[in-house]
Amino acid sequence: MPVLSFTQLRHRPVHDPQGILVGNVEDLLVLPLGVRPQVTKFSLRRPDREEWVLPWTIVKEVPEAAELPILIRVPLADVKPVTPRPEEVLLGKTVLDKKVVDTARKKVVRVNDIELAESEGALQVVGVEGGLRGILRHLRSEQLAERLAAMLGKSLPHDVVQWEVIDPVETELSRAKRQAVYTKLAKLHPADIADIMEELTPGERAGVLAALDEATAAEAITEAEPEVQASMVQMMEPEKAADILEEMEPDEAADILSDLPEAKAEELLETMEPKEAHDVEELLEHEEDTAGGLMTTEHVAFSPSLTAAEAIGRIRDEAKDAETIYYLYVTDPQEHLLGVFSLRELILADPNQRLEQIMHTDVVSVRPETALREVAELQTKYNLLALPVVSGEGEMLGIITVDDVLNLILPMIWKKRAVKRFI
């Protein structure tokens, strides 16, 4: 069987072996399992307007010419409607005119038509069409447009996306295969996921992010534009949103919460685990345009009496939760900042050498109230990958990483992606 399109099947008459009209096709039912959904049944509208659901196995022939009727194997008198299974979904209702994620091209596509083909004795969904040709076929103007294009020496492109690279956007189809949905999307770089999310409505974003694991969702949200981040979190269920915020660096979570309505931010903080919520609340106390507002509390600090070998052992256990380990800090029991050394210096040091012998005591640091402009100037002047933030009493409060500073000082034309229309 050649490739068929859904729009060529919809509303098409169905005849029995004697040429008697059984009805007109309304939709196809599919099992959204496996690589390609398989057509199991079809719904049709009877001449008396009654709706029947019939098994696809009774179909004998689907002529290539769209004006010819579909033929079934049994006489009308022997046709018995069946009841759909709970896991079966209507293909046209759930996919046509809906959005899907093309994970190969990393973009959102609106489905203008659906391609089907026979494979191993079954009719399967093989792809979707999102271009002009699909729209024209939808409007039954494809052939006319082809003739006009040919007269101009042009051709109508086929913009077909193979089903294997598609993730449906929060539809009945995606919910029906919840266990497998968005597995392809989750493999993309977080920045690509963020770009895709920005093409969706707030409700669609929330549905997609809710189906991703918390770590992937957190990374994607942090890559999105600030104008969109708060929208993503606000539309989610509080429990899911709180789980995602817990996966973020405290400073990133604080930035998002600061852009939410106060009542919503308080609700999410109350839903978060106490430790993570406390770290974020501390950051929210600082003005947004200061070092305290930009810093993260996640850093690695050691006692000066530790040896290099002991410090390396501690790093293996603790550094997974730190935002960066390019620099390691030395503090006393009261968490006063005593010194700093690089990871390179630690690796090259004698294993028995104490950290107080390795560290540099002339540490460049800032206070929490330091303006961001001064922070950027210091990091640029001294080529620092991270800058510690200390209190007036010398207590280490956190660090500011170079990527956070770059987000502020890079020219907007370089950094800022176009803010999408659905914010």
Q: What is the CATH number of the domain that holds 359?
A: 3.10.580.10
pLDDT of residue 55: 96
All residue ranges of the chain with pLDDT < 50 are 145, 149, 175-180, 411-423
- pLDDT for position 316: 81
36 closest CA partner among 204, 173, 157: 173
Based on the fold, state whether residues 227 and 160 are members of the same structural domain. Answer: no
Q: Do the beta carbons of residue 5 and residue 129 sit within 8 Å?
A: yes
Instruction: Give yes or no for a contact between 404 and 294, defined as CB atoms under 8 angstroms apart.
Output: yes
The verdict on residue 341 lying in a domain is yes
- Residue 399 CA to residue 365 CA, distance in Å, equals 9
My answer on whether 108 and 142 are in the same domain is: yes
Question: 104 with 31, same domain?
Answer: no
Residue type, 334: Q
Residue 306 and residue 392 in one domain: yes
Domain boundary among 42, 74, 93: 93
Q: What is the pLDDT of residue 122?
A: 85
Is 173 among the domain residues? no
In a domain, 273, yes or no: yes
In a domain, 113, yes or no: yes
Which of 93, 108, 133 delimits the end of a domain?
93
Among residues 317, 323, 272, which one has the least CA distance to residue 297? 323
Would residue 80 count as lying in a domain? Answer: yes
Nearest to 193 by CA among 227, 232, 245, 243: 232
- Is the domain of 84 the same as that of 140? no
Query: Residue 8's pLDDT is what?
Result: 85
**78 and 48: one domain?**
yes
Q: How many domains does the chain have?
A: 4
pLDDT at 422: 39
Give yes or no: residues 261 and 232 share one domain.
yes
Tokens of 386: 């991270």
Do 222 and 314 fall within a single domain? no
* Contact predicate 7/138, CB 8 Å: yes
Terminal Cα-to-Cα distance of the chain (whole angstroms)? 45
What's residue 211's pLDDT? 81
Say which residue the tokens 């309505």 belong to: 261
User: 155 vs 79, 141, 142, 147, 209, CA distance in Å?
Assistant: 43, 14, 11, 9, 39
* 3-state SS track over the chain: CCCEEHHHHCCCEEECCCCCEEEEEEEEEEECCCCCCEEEEEEEECCCCCEEEEEHHHEEECCCCCCCCEEECCCHHHCCCCCCCCCCEEHHHHHCCCEEEECCCCEEEECCEEEEEEECCEEEEEEEECCHHHHHHHCCCHHHHHHHHHHCCCCCCCCEEEHHHEEECCCHHHHHCCCCCCHHHHCCCHHHHHHHHCCCCHHHHHHHHHHCCHHHHHHHHHHCCHHHHHHHHHCCCHHHHHHHHHHCCHHHHHHHHHCCCHHHHHHHHHHCCHHHHHHHHHHHCCCCCEHHHHCECCCCEECCCCEHHHHHHHHHHHHHHCCCCCEEEEECCCCEEEEEEEHHHHHHCCCCCEHHHHCECCCCCECCCCEHHHHHHHHHHHCCCEEEEECCCCEEEEEEEHHHHHHHHCCHHHHCCCCCCCC
**Does any domain span residue 270?**
yes
- What per-residue confidence (pLDDT) applies to 156? 56
Q: Is residue 307 located within the same domain as residue 355?
A: yes
Residue 354 within any structural domain of the chain? yes
Model confidence over 180-211: pLDDT tens digits? 457 788 889 999 999 998 888 888 888 888 88
Same domain, 85 and 98: no
CB 419 within 8 A of CB 227: yes
Residues 6 or more apart from 334 whose CB is under 8 A from it?
395
Cα gap 94→171, rounded to integer Å: 6
d(CA 212, CA 339) in angstroms, rounded, equals 41
**Model-level pTM?**
0.72
Residue that terminates a domain, selected from 134, 166, 198: 166
One domain for residues 130 and 54: no
Residue 136: per-residue pLDDT: 59
Give residue 86's domain range.
4-93
Residue 417 lies in a domain: no
Distance in angstroms (rounded) separating the CA atoms of residues 417 and 106 = 15
311 and 399 belong to one structural domain: yes
